[in-house]
Chain A
Amino acid sequence: DSGVTQTPKHLITATGQRVTLRCSPRSGDLSVYWYQQSLDQGLQFLIQYYNGEERAKGNILERFSAQQFPDLHSELNLSSLELGDSALYFCASSPSGGSNQPQHFGDGTRLSIL
Chain B
Amino acid sequence: AQKITQTQPGMFVQEKEAVTLDCTYDTSDQSYGLFWYKQPSSGEMIFLIYQGSYDEQNATEGRYSLNFQKARKSANLVISASQLGDSAMYFCAMSLMDSNYQLIWGAGTKLIIKP
Residues of A that sit less than 8 Å from B by CB: 2, 33, 35, 42-45, 48, 55-56, 58, 88, 90, 92, 94, 97-108, 110
> In the complex, are the beta carbons of B47 and A99 less than 8 A apart?
no
Least Cβ–Cβ distance between B24 and chain A, in angstroms: 16
CB–CB A42/B102 < 8 A:
no
Nearest CB to that of B105 among chain A residues? Answer: A43
B50 and A102: CB pair below 8 A? yes
Chain A residue contacts of B74, Cβ below 8 A: none
Residues of A within 8 A of B56 (CB): none
Residues of A within 8 A of B46 (CB): 2, 105
| Prevailing SS type, chain A contact patch | strand
Q: Are B45 and A99 in contact (CB under 8 A)?
A: no
The stretch that binds A, out of B11-19, B27-35, B62-70, B75-83, is B27-35
**B101 touching A99 by the CB < 8 A rule?**
yes
In whole angstroms, how far apart are the Cα atoms of A105 and B45 in the complex?
6
Seed contacts A48-B100, A48-B101; 9 additional CB < 8 Å A-B pairs: A2-B44, A2-B46, A43-B91, A94-B101, A97-B101, A99-B33, A99-B97, A101-B101, A105-B37
Interface status of B95 (Cβ within 8 A of chain A): yes
- Chain B residues near A110: list those with CB within 8 A: 43
Which among B31, B97, B100, B107 has the greatest number of chain A C-beta atoms within 10 A?
A: B100
Option from A56, A88, A100, A106 in Cβ contact (under 8 Å) with B100: A56
